Amino acid sequence: MNGLPAALTAEAVKSVAARVVRAASLFIVVGISVLATTLTWAANRGNEQVLAQLGPAADLAGWDRLLGVAAQVTAAGALLGFGVVLSWAIGREFADGTIAGLYGLPVSRASIALAKLVVHLCWTVLVGVLLTAALLLVGLLLGLGPLDSAAASGLARQFVLTVLSGGLALPAAWAATLGRGLLAGVAATIAIIVVAQVAVVAGSGAWLPLAAPALWAIRPDSVSGAQVALALTVPALFTLATVRAWRRLELDR
């Protein structure tokens, strides 16, 4: 990996300056917090329509309900936000034409691709910290009771779910590379969300890597460690696939 530190610096500078990253951070942290807050508040007041929509979280109470709702929203909402930003980070090089300038450098394209994914991971960790902190604040403001060990475990699972959602969005990076633009990545993100949602409704359970993190965050007893670990194969495989695609990339279309 030639020039990885330089590539990391370049990608970090670009991400910090990008409006799309700031907007997506706001969308994920504030959007999920507001949705989780309003749905939990409405459910706590006995709103039948909301309770009917909450699925397994409807049977929970207190911190468990708030974090169950947040996990459901995160599974789709955060994945959408992460997938769009990842599609932008890759696809913008093609859309802006800057991809040509990333050839003929002492920094290899494989390093640039890996740097993009590492910066994405760092951003998802930051978003995970902010979202978890926001939900802690929401829970305290809603008067859900003291932060006991169960609630702390729930918040920790919420953080892990957020970061894993960022990892599950990695097929978008590969798709944006193959499709030479943002749209292929966004389409892949939507496909991931649809497959995960449909599979859960169809009862595939936690053996589907795309669905396991959310199921684990809501009901940790129903998901085994192996099933959560299996979810890690998605980011691992698509990191390799994306780096390989960048290494072999030709400007032939």
What token pair was written down for 48? 């039948």
Among 3-11, 149-157, 179-187, 195-203, which window interacts with another protein (CB under 8 A)? 3-11
- As given in the structure block, the two tokens for residue 187 are 């389409």
Tokens of 104: 């003929």
Cβ closer to another protein: 43 or 93? 93
Residue 221 or 250: the one with the smaller Cβ distance to another protein is 250
> Per-residue x/- marks for another protein, 88-127, CB under 8 A?
--------xxx-xxxxxxxxx-------------------
Q: Which two tokens stand for residue 215?
A: 């199921």
Q: How far is the CB of 80 from another protein (least distance, A)?
A: 22
Residues in contact with another protein, total (CB under 8 A)? 26
- Distance, in Å, from the CA atom of 5 to the CA atom of 38, rounded to the nearest integer, reads 43
CB closer to another protein, 7 vs 228: 7
Footprint of another protein on residues 213-252 (CB under 8 A)? 250-252
Q: Tokens 């740097």 appear where?
A: 115
Q: Which part of the chain contacts another protein (CB under 8 A), choosing from 10-18, 26-34, 122-130, 171-179?
A: 10-18
| Residue with smaller CB distance to another protein, 104 or 146 | 104
Q: Are 11 and 115 in contact (CB under 8 A)?
A: yes
Residue 17 interacts with another protein (CB under 8 A): yes or no: yes
Report the run of H or E that residue 192 belongs to, with start and end.
Answer: helix 182-201
Read out DSSP for 46-92? Answer: T-HHHHHHSGGGGG--HHHHHHHHHHHHHHHHHHHHHHHHHHHHHHH
| Cβ pair 167, 234 in contact under 8 A | yes
* Residues of this chain, 18-57, that bind another protein according to CB under 8 A: 18-19
The pair of structure tokens assigned to 49 is: 């329509």
Contact region for another protein (CB under 8 A) — 2-10, 81-89, 154-162, 182-190?
Answer: 2-10
**Residues at the contact surface with another protein, assessed by CB under 8 A:** 2-3, 6-7, 9-10, 13-14, 17-19, 96-98, 100-108, 250-252
